Amino acid sequence: MLRVSFQGERGAYSEAAALSFFGKKIKTVPLPTFADIIEQTENGKTDYAILPIENSLEGSVGESHDLLYSTRLYAVGETYFRIRHCLIGLGPLEKIDTVYSHPQALGQCRKFIQKHHMKTVPAYDTAGSVQIIKNLNKKNIACIASKMASEIYGVLVVKDRIEDNSNNYTRFLILSKEKTKETGRDKTSIIFSVKHEAGALFRVIEKFHDYKINLTKIESRPTKNTPWEYNFYVDFEGHEKNSKISEMLKKIKKETLFLRILGSYPSAELS
């Protein structure tokens, strides 16, 4: 049976995304941090790790991108998971004045929280916040998590679908120690850095234009070693083993200080 590590408690959106991607016949392994799930897969204790990369409303998950820079794992898959937030608690809506959840979930329900004048308390995980409020056992305290988490911990849903926007998706990467083969509908993710000089980034981006390769994402993240220097995270269509992509990457490497191919994987579509 495949073992998949995810960050959070049982009922976390990462677990639900893993079940959606792999199917029900897997063993999901909950762990406290993103670093833990990476380490478990690197050490062979799990076969895959599932890592949230970005949300359609709140943007990128910075910690995940930073871990991609240093991990020895490869990206072998991606999935877009629809996020449906529930207000979960022990009391009626009119009595709730405090809400716990992960900062991303709190941000995705900002309008609802402001409308009901609730105080927010950040938690390390959405599903974990259900356990917190269950232990506190107060009718004025609630949390934001999934319906699955509500069922697991036996705390009722006060109100369903409280996210600000129904088009609320989180993109997850599936990470493994083994690379994938070309399928013909692939996407590749890379990280690189360039010299701090005029035209350095342009010379890299120009190669995608020259080879007529479609960029699907580009994002910068600060390096941890030098202030005001950045690593660039890029997704584009095609597989690294494709001859045209391979040739382009060799030319890009000559223009960079550092280049790492995170992996190539079948491109997912919004369900």
Residue of 21, 34, 112, 172 marked catalytic: 172
In a domain, 227, yes or no: yes
Q: Are residues 43 and 172 in the same domain?
A: yes
Measured in degrees and rounded to the nearest 5, phi and psi for residue 167 equal: -85, 60
From CA 226, how far away is CA 105, in angstroms rounded? Answer: 31
Q: Are residues 37 and 152 in the same domain?
A: no
pTM score, two decimals? 0.91
pLDDT reading at 104 higher than 80: yes
**Chosen domain end from 113, 141, 176:** 176
Q: Are residues 77 and 92 in the same domain?
A: no
Domains: count for the chain? 3
pLDDT reading at 224 higher than 90: no
* CATH for 123: 3.40.190.10
In a domain, 219, yes or no: yes
The pLDDT assigned to 197 comes to 87
Range of the domain at 106: 86-160
The pLDDT assigned to 226 comes to 77
In a domain, 119, yes or no: yes
**Chosen domain end from 176, 210, 238:** 176
Q: Are residues 51 and 172 in the same domain?
A: yes
Q: Are residues 121 and 242 in the same domain?
A: no
Q: Are residues 172 and 70 in the same domain?
A: yes
Cα dist from 1 to 25, 77, 78, 212, whole Å: 7, 18, 20, 41
In a domain, 9, yes or no: yes
According to DSSP, the β-strands at 59-60 and 48-55 are antiparallel
From CA 206, how far away is CA 45, in angstroms rounded? Answer: 41
The pLDDT assigned to 123 comes to 94
Q: Which residues lie below 8 Å from residue 164, measured CB to CB, with a gap of 6+?
A: 57, 108, 109, 110, 111, 112
Q: Are residues 121 and 136 in the same domain?
A: yes
**What does the pLDDT look like over 29-45, one tens digit per residue?**
999 999 999 999 999 99
Q: Are 97 and 65 in contact (CB under 8 A)?
A: no
Q: Are residues 48 and 172 in the same domain?
A: yes
From CA 181, how far away is CA 242, in angstroms rounded? Answer: 10
Taking residues 220-224, what's their average pLDDT? 87
State the average pLDDT for the chain.
Answer: 95
In a domain, 271, yes or no: no
In a domain, 24, yes or no: yes
The pLDDT assigned to 200 comes to 92
191 pLDDT tier (thresholds 50, 70, 90): very high
* CATH for 243: 3.30.70.260
Q: How many CB atoms lie within 10 A of CB 25?
A: 8
Q: Are residues 172 and 45 in the same domain?
A: yes
Q: Is 172 a catalytic residue?
A: yes
Residue 226 in tokens: 């030098």
pLDDT reading at 271 higher than 80: no
229 pLDDT tier (thresholds 50, 70, 90): confident
**What does the pLDDT look like over 123-173, one tens digit per residue?**
989 999 999 999 999 999 999 999 999 999 999 999 999 999 988 999 999
The pLDDT assigned to 17 comes to 96
78 pLDDT tier (thresholds 50, 70, 90): very high
Q: What percent of the chain has pLDDT over 70?
A: 100
Q: Which residues lie below 8 Å from residue 63, measured CB to CB, with a gap of 6+?
A: 34
Q: Is 170 a catalytic residue?
A: yes
Residue of 170, 180, 188, 256 marked catalytic: 170
Q: Are residues 141 and 236 in the same domain?
A: no
The pLDDT assigned to 227 comes to 78
Q: Are residues 42 and 100 in the same domain?
A: no
The pLDDT assigned to 252 comes to 97
Give DSSP secondary structure letters for 60-90: E-HHHHHHHHH-S-EEEEEEEEE---EEEES
Q: Are residues 69 and 52 in the same domain?
A: yes
In a domain, 181, yes or no: no
